[in-house]
Amino acid sequence: MVTAIPATGRALVRLTLAVAALAIALPIQAGSKLLGTGGTSSIEGSAGGGIVPWATIAGYASSDEWSATAGYNRVLVDDFQLTTHSAAVSYDNHYELSLARQQFWIAPLQLSLEQQIIGVKVKVAGDLLYSDLPQLSVGAQFKHQQRFEVPQAVGALRQNGIDWYASVSKVYLDAIWGRNLLTNATVRLTKANQTGLLGFGSSDATQYQAVAELSAALLVRHDVAIGIEFKQKPNQLAFAREDHWKDLFVGWFINRNVSIVAGYVDLGSIAQLDDQTGFYFAIQGAY
Amino acid sequence: MRLIYVCVLVWLVTACTAAAKPSLYQQLGGEVAITKLVDGLLVKIEHDPRIVHHFKDTDIARFRSKLIEQLCHISDGPCQYTGSTMQESHTGFQITAADFDRLVQHLIDVMTELHIPLDAQNELLARLAPMYKDVTYR
């Protein structure tokens, strides 16, 4: 398993863990937003849950403040592993810029694909906590599959793609059993096959498709959220069926600098390999 | 059979009466807890250089008593709030979203330190959150 992570990856993991340990021991003042209200780093680098970008803006920057986050995510299913290293900066709780590098390890082929994603997100209306109107953000993810040979061989049309999305997020205070409930709904326009890991479009599918992505998380404590996500996916490659993704997760915001997420994921069928279920883990550092 | 119905009915009525939820004021811990809450909040404000400047011309004794009164009133306690409206009392202060966030985080931290149950904390937050629009950027 570990051999799938290159040496530089392992060094980064160690560095991340060391920084996390330091931040837990010596918390530093991040921005002013309430604990957890930036969400966490999703697998595509944008602030959100695990697999869904939310309307939340990364980190703890409130008005006129800056924030930076770094994330490390792992998805481990039967025949695949997805590793994401990401970083994001945000300003004013309105603007988010994120960078992500995804390594997609295909165990049966003993090879990994690599995708880079630049994400931008802008909060345009509402507020996560303080207004009746949910927080509305719009965003884009500029994706580039660096090793296009395999996606091309299975029918993908393009190496690059842009996903456009709009998300609404809202925390309902005192919603269920006296606990706060976060809900998020995202509509994404995409041409991506398996989120771009298998390239973009196909000879039969050259147009954008609209997909829905949903999350709900109950804050059982101020620092612990238990949630569920659903990510609708297009199905464009003739060689294999693509399924919607689902996950269950527990997130713990240890303090304003470190959060960790663990979960169970169901990615369905990927590249003719069915029932890809397994584990999800993520850690985020925030300043 | 009839007796069973009567018994069930009586049980339901008494259960409902017994289960009548205490007021938020009672859940928070009444006057004692609200006073501790406000005093704890004042300490947090005093030690937060990012927001303490908003209080430099404030009559802290009056602020304290009005806030106790307001929290008592908003939690359905036996008090009438006699202070100014939120809009009036914050006009000219230019309270930012960051200032508001910091105060809310302090409030949560103090409630947690006082072991106020989470459901009571969240209910109070739900009642205070709509004040955001009256407090900020005035």
Mean predicted confidence (pLDDT) in B27-48: 97
Domain annotation covers residue B51: yes
Q: Determine the CATH number of domain A2-286.
A: 2.40.160.40
Contact (CB, 8 A) for A201 and A22? no
Query: Does the distance separating the beta carbons of A63 and B97 come in below 8 Å?
Result: yes
Task: For B66-108, write each residue's pLDDT tens digit.
Answer: 999 999 999 999 999 999 999 999 999 999 999 999 999 999 9
pLDDT band, residue B10 (cuts 50/70/90)? low
CA distance A176 to chain B (A): 9
Structural domain boundaries of chain A?
A: 2-286
Give chain B's domain count. Answer: 1
CATH number of the domain encompassing residue B45: 1.10.490.10
* pLDDT > 90 fraction of chain A, expressed in percent and rounded: 89
- Average pLDDT of span A153-157: 96
Which residues form the domain of B79? 23-135
Q: Which of B99, B101, B119 sits opposite A34 (nearest CB)?
A: B101
Which of B104, B126, B130 is the closest to A174 by Cβ?
B126
Nearest to A62 among B98, B108, B125 (CB): B98
Question: Rounded to the nearest 5°, which phi and psi values hold at A268?
Answer: 65, -140
Please name the residue that has the structure tokens 């997100």.
A121
Contact A174 B133 (CB under 8 A): no
The string of pLDDT tens digits covering residues A241-285 is 999 999 999 999 999 999 999 999 999 999 999 999 999 999 999
B64, amino acid identity: R
CA A266/CA A249 separation, integer angstroms: 12
Average pLDDT estimate for B51-65:
95
Q: Considering CB atoms only, which of A63, A127, A131 is closest to B96?
A: A63
Q: Is the pLDDT assigned to residue A25 strictly greater than 90?
A: no
pLDDT at B19 over 90: no
**Could you tell me which residues come within 8 angstroms of residue A184 by beta carbon, excluding any fewer than 6 positions away?**
A48, A49, A52, A54, A55, A167, A168, A169, A170, A214, A215, A216
Read off the tokens for A204.
Answer: 């039969």
pLDDT at A2: 43
Residues of chain B with Cβ-Cβ distance to A38 below 8 Å are none
Q: Percent of chain A beyond pLDDT 70?
A: 96
- Of the given ranges (A9-18, A172-181, A212-221), which has the lowest mean pLDDT? A9-18
A34, A131, A180 member nearest B105 (Cβ): A34
Nearest to B98 among A63, A132, A177 (CB): A63
How close is the nearest chain B Cα to the Cα of A245, in Å? 32
Between B78 and B19, residue with greater pLDDT: B78
Asked whether the predicted pLDDT for residue A3 surpasses 50, the reply is no
- Label each residue of chain A as H, E or C: CHHHCCHHHHHHHHHHHHHHHHHHHCCCCCCCCCCCCCCEECCCCCEECCCCECCCCCCCCCCCCEEEEEEEEEEEECCEEEEEEEEEEEECCCEEEEEEEEEEEEHHHCEEEEEEEEEEEEEEECCCCCCCCCEEEEEEEEEEECCCHHHHHCCEEECEEEEEEEEEEEEEEEEECCEEEEEEEEEEEECECHHHCCCEEECCECCCEEEEEEEEEEEEECCEEEEEEEECCCCCCCCCCCCCEEEEEEEEECCCCEEEEEEEEECCCECCECCCEEEEEEEEEEC
**pLDDT score recorded for residue B15:** 55
Length of chain B: 138
Distance from CA of B85 to the nearest CA of A (A): 18
Those residues whose C-beta lies under 8 Å from the C-beta of residue A100, and which sit 6 or more positions away, are A43, A44, A45, A84, A85, A86, A87, A116, A117, A119
Chain B interface test: which of A133, A177, A222, A256 (most B C-beta within 10 Å): A222
Chain B: residue whose CA lies nearest to A65: B98
Phi-psi region of A219 (alpha: psi -120 to 50; beta: other; left: phi over 0): beta
- The pLDDT-based confidence of A40 (bands split at 50, 70, 90) is very high
Q: Which of chain A's residues have a Cβ under 8 Å away from the Cβ of B49?
A: none
Nearest in space to A234 (alpha carbons), one of A264, A273, A198, A278:
A198
CA-CA distance, A230 to B106, in Å (whole number)?
34
Residues 6+ apart with CB under 8 A from B59: none
What's the average model confidence in pLDDT over A50-64? 97
A33 CA: distance to closest CA in chain B (Å)? 6
Q: How many Cβ atoms from other residues are within 10 Å of residue A2's Cβ? A: 7
Name the residue type at position A100. Answer: A
Alpha-carbon span A173 to B119, nearest angstrom = 10
Structure tokens at A135: 């927080």
**Which candidate, A64, A70, A86, places its Cα nearest to that of A141?**
A86
In chain A, residues with a C-beta closer than 8 Å to the C-beta of B132 are 127, 129-131
High-pLDDT (> 90) share of chain B, %: 85
For residue B52, is it within any domain? yes
B interface test, pick of A32, A131, A218 with most B CB neighbours within 10 Å? A32
The nearest CA of chain A is from the CA of B107 a distance in Å of 11
Mean pLDDT value across residues A37-58 = 98
Does any CB of chain A come closer than 8 Å to the CB of residue B100?
Answer: yes
pLDDT at position B117: 97
Q: Are residues A62 and B96, on separate chains, in Cβ contact within 8 Å?
A: yes
State how far the Cα of A59 lies from the Cα of A13, in Å rounded to an integer: 20
Nearest CA in chain B to A34: B105
**How far B6 CA sits from the closest chain A CA (Å)?**
31
